[in-house]
Structure 1
C-alpha cells in the first residue's frame, strides 16, 4: 500500500529449510516466481534465508517499524504468492479493536443513518413554483 506516494513495505524476508518437506513449495517459489515479483517491485528489498530445521515463513518489515510474520508451512506456491502480495499491499499498521461503539462528536444535519432506512421505496414529487413579477 502506498502512503504519500511511498510503498510501506521495505523488506521482505523469506525463510525456508533446504531439506524439509514443509518448505518444498517455498523452494519452488524461490526458483521460479520470485524473480518476476522482484522485477515488478524494484523498491522492495528481498532477503532469502536458508535456516535448516525450521518451518518456512514470510516476514514483511514496514516503514512504520512494525513487522508481520506469516507461516507458510505446507502451503502451495500460489498460496504463498498470495501471502506475499497481501504483505506487499498492507500498510503495516496493527489492527485496532474497538470495544465500544464509535459515535461522531457532531451529529450530521441529515440525521443518523440506520440499516432499516430504505429511501428507495418512497416516491418523491417535485412541485414547480411559478414566481410572478410585478
Structure 2
C-alpha cells in the first residue's frame, strides 16, 4: 500500500443529490481556454480550437465555453462547476489530442475535489468477500441479452402472501366445522 493517500485531504462524499434520476444534469458550468496567439506552447490549444471546438460545443450544450487570448502567457484551462469549485489545468506544450482528452475528463467530473473518502463506520475485521453491489448475484446471461426482453418482462408468479394463506386456512376450517346434510 502506498503512502500517497496521506497527502490527500480527507472528507465525506458530497455528491449532487439524485443526479440522473429523471435526467442527468452536467456539472461543468463553464470552461475557459486561455492561450497565446503566437507562443509555441499554446499550439495544441489553438489546433483544438480550430478543429474540434465546435464539435465539443455541440456535444455539450449545457457548458459555456470562453476563449481568452493573452500575450506571452502559457496555455491553460479553467473549469467551473455548479457546486462552486474551480479547477485549473496547465496546458503548456499539450497536443490537440491531449487537450481534447483533458476537456472530456473535466466535462465528466462532478467538481468535487479529489480526496480520501472517510466512512462513518469502522470495523476491526473488514470483509474479505468484497463490496456488495446490486449486480453481485445477477445472472451472467443478462450481459448478452437484447433489451427489452420478453422473458424478463413477464410477470412473476408470486407465492400467496401470509394474509392470503391465513384466509385460506380460515375458510377451510369453516367448511369442516359446518355440519353436513346427513348429520342434520
Q: Give the TM-score, by structure 1 length.
A: 0.73
Instruction: Identify the structure with the greater helix proportion.
Output: 2
CA deviation map 1:53-83 (0-9, x unaligned): 1100111100000010111110110011111
Choose which of 89, 96, 104 in structure 1 pairs with 2:121: 104
Q: Where do 5+ consecutive residues of structure 2 fail to align?
A: 1-15, 130-184
Q: Which residue of 1 aligns with 2:56?
A: 37
Please state whether the residue corresponding to 1:6 is helix, strand or coil: coil
Larger Rg, first or second structure (1 or 2): 2
In structure 2, C-alpha distance between the alignment counterparts of 1:9 and 1:24, rounded to whole Å: 25
Instruction: Identify the structure with the greater strand proportion.
Output: 1
Q: Where do 5+ consecutive residues of structure 1 fail to align?
A: 116-134
Q: Which residue of 1 aligns with 2:128?
A: 114
When the two chains are superposed, the root-mean-square deviation of aligned CA atoms in Å is: 2.6
Please state whether the residue corresponding to 2:80 is helix, strand or coil: strand
Shift in CA distance, 103/43, structure 1 to aligned 2, threshold 3 Å = closer
Q: Give the TM-score, by structure 2 length.
A: 0.54
CA deviation map 1:1-42 (0-9, x unaligned): x83421100001000001100011111110111001101111
Give the 5 Å matches for 1:4-83: 4=20, 5-83=24-102
Shift in CA distance, 103/46, structure 1 to aligned 2, threshold 3 Å = closer
In structure 2, C-alpha distance between the alignment counterparts of 1:47 and 1:58, rounded to whole Å: 10
